[in-house]
Amino acid sequence: MSYATILVNLEAGQSNADVLAAAKQLADRFHAGVIGCSACTSVMMINNDGSAYGDMLEQDSKEIKVELAAAETEFRDAMGGALSFVDWRGQGPVLSISGHVVHEASRADLILTGVAKSENTSRYVNTGDLIMHAGRPVLLVPSLPGPLGMGRIMVGWTNTREARRAVADALPLLKQADEVSVIEFASADEMDSARARLADVSSWLVRHGIVAETQVRQAGRSTAASLEALATERNADLVVTGAYGHSRAREWAFGGVTRTLLTPTTRFSFLSH
């Protein structure tokens, strides 16, 4: 199992150097093709009679065209000419940026995107919405990243569909890692059961050629804080977890761990739903 095609989402109107560097690094590591994509929604201003201000719409359309062209140039320059496959899918205006990325996700094995760099919601993707709908794993590039390290990977485990899917989706990365740890936080009366669950995960990983350390930690008041502290203690390059959420009308409500990993600061996050 490998990643044959990587989809990288660019935020229009911003530098995407960090996201593109991570995408190029992964493409070189896995001999993968890369698809770049970017989209913008339109800033609509409506009169009382329901008609849009034509001059503002025209100006917005021009800005979208310029920003998408700049994003494509940045993407192609970053990818160079050595990759097996490079393609670009820019679109604007669209109704939903996450919808555009989800539409393109059928062509890829892995999606890369970054934390929003501006407050302009017409230019950045809603990462929670993307993860919930993509049907593909999403690698989030932190706001203050260094190079994408794959030496130490930590898996936050619960015996759920989302976690099982995340670990399966991350197998290519886990096989590349020098150290893999699988951690479960459990209540005092669940410690033995958790150890048995992690033993099953460990034996499954061994059959994929991955030797992982497993550890059960007693759950505290905040699993998100405990996971972050442990990742820091272990100097983890990447944290892999399932993404847990449910829809509240048009928005998604997430658990504490997922909320924390949706806006990483210095550590890469790998999430699947």
Q: Report pTM.
A: 0.91
Question: How far is 223 from 187, CA to CA, in rounded Å?
Answer: 11
Residue 238: closest CA among 164, 178, 168, 185:
178
Do domains 5-141 and 152-272 share one topology? The answer is yes
Query: What CATH number should be reported for the domain whose range is 5-141?
Result: 3.40.50.620
Q: In the structure, how many helices (H) and strands (E) does the chain have? A: 9, 12
Question: How far is 8 from 35, CA to CA, in rounded Å?
Answer: 6
127-134 vs 97-104: helix crossing angle, rounded to 10: 30
Where do the structural domains in the chain lie, given as residue ranges?
Answer: 5-141, 152-272
Question: How far is 103 from 189, CA to CA, in rounded Å?
Answer: 44
Low-confidence winner among 51-65, 135-149, 221-235 (lowest mean pLDDT) = 51-65
136 with 107: CB under 8 angstroms? no
Low-confidence winner among 40-54, 119-133, 175-189 (lowest mean pLDDT) = 40-54
Output the six-digit token pair for 122: 């017409």
DSSP-derived letter for residue 122 is T
Q: Has residue 1 got a pLDDT over 50? A: yes
| Architecture of the domain delimited by 152-272 | 3-Layer(aba) Sandwich (3.40)
Rg (CA), the chain: 20
Output the six-digit token pair for 234: 């272990």
